[in-house]
Chain A
Amino acid sequence: MRDEPEDALLGRFAQGDQEAFEALFRQYQGEVFRWVVRIVRDRGLAEDATVDAFWRAYRARARFDPSRSFGAWIRRIATNAALTHLEAQRRHGGGVALDGREPVPAVEPGRRREIQAAFAALSPRLRVVATLALVEQQSYAEIADALDVPVGTVKSRVFRAIRSLRQELACRGIHG
């Protein structure tokens, strides 16, 4: 990466400088990937969404304010890209990917599949907040910032996700 102040780099990016874009890409790709993979729960899909997010960012560069945080801006774009990929995955009948940090603890496989199916039944919009808030335990403020919505909206979506999950699980005979 070029050794120059961040604001100069961001200014050049906003003006369409491809070298600046590449430098920002290399600086942020890991961070964006790690955020996206938490949402989509599939490394291959996360790579696609990361590339898509940066491509969207490049096309929207004229709307970027160089005085603001690039990290926060690209995270919002990446969250939307992840949501788009989840919606496409759902349209093509994909389920919930199972890549996890650690082996699944002692949960009976049939029960685990039922829980995953209940989770997959959530709409992508609710799945994103449920994943980030309940599974990844991100703060509501962080989720709100990534989705570019008020914290109240996140709370409301988490509430609806929990209600839907509880109903789905009850239908599958899981009550706790």
Chain B
Amino acid sequence: MTDAELTVLLRSALPPMDESAPVGDLWPRLLTRAARPSAGSRADLGVAAGLVAGLLGVLATRPDWILLLVYHL
């Protein structure tokens, strides 16, 4: 099968898309999107929560490290 034949085959099963506009105005959806916390900030919060939990876990098993931590803060 040549490249041209493959292209014809592909276009026969996947015709080019309709170029019409979106059904409605997308601006309200953008405002909704903007009001949502980003995936990045959720991930950051998750990492921060994990670090705090880990730190608390370590301090629970080694209370003597609290003084060391306070010294460094």
Residue numbers of A with Cβ under 8 A of B are 22, 25-26, 29-30, 33-34, 37-38, 41, 43, 46-47, 50-52, 54-55, 58, 96, 98-105, 107, 111-112, 115-116, 119, 130-131, 134-137, 162, 165-166, 169, 174-176
Contacts and interface: CB of A to CB of B under 8 A. Distances in A.
B29 interface: yes
A100 B14 contact: yes
Interface string B19-45: 111110111011001100000000000
Interface in B14-73: 14-23, 25-27, 29-30, 33-34
Contacts of B29: 47, 51
Contacts of B10: 115, 119, 130, 134-135, 165
A165 B6 contact: yes
Contacts of A50: 22, 26
Given A58-B34, A162-B3, A33 B26 contact: yes
A30 B26 CA distance: 9
B18 A37 contact: yes
B21 A34 contact: yes
Contacts of B9: 115, 169, 174, 176
B6 A46 contact: no
Interface of B: 1, 3, 5-7, 9-23, 25-27, 29-30, 33-34
A52 B30 CA distance: 8
A55 B30 contact: yes
A173 to B, nearest CB: 12
Top 8 closest pairs, chain A to chain B, by CB: A100-B15, A115-B13, A176-B1, A30-B21, A112-B13, A33-B22, A107-B12, A101-B18
Contacts of B23: 43, 47
Contact of B11 (A46, A52, A134): A134
Contacts of B17: 37-38, 41, 99-101, 136
18 contacts: A25-B27, A29-B22, A29-B25, A33-B21, A33-B26, A37-B18, A43-B22, A47-B22, A96-B14, A100-B17, A100-B18, A104-B15, A112-B13, A115-B9, A116-B14, A119-B13, A135-B11, A135-B15
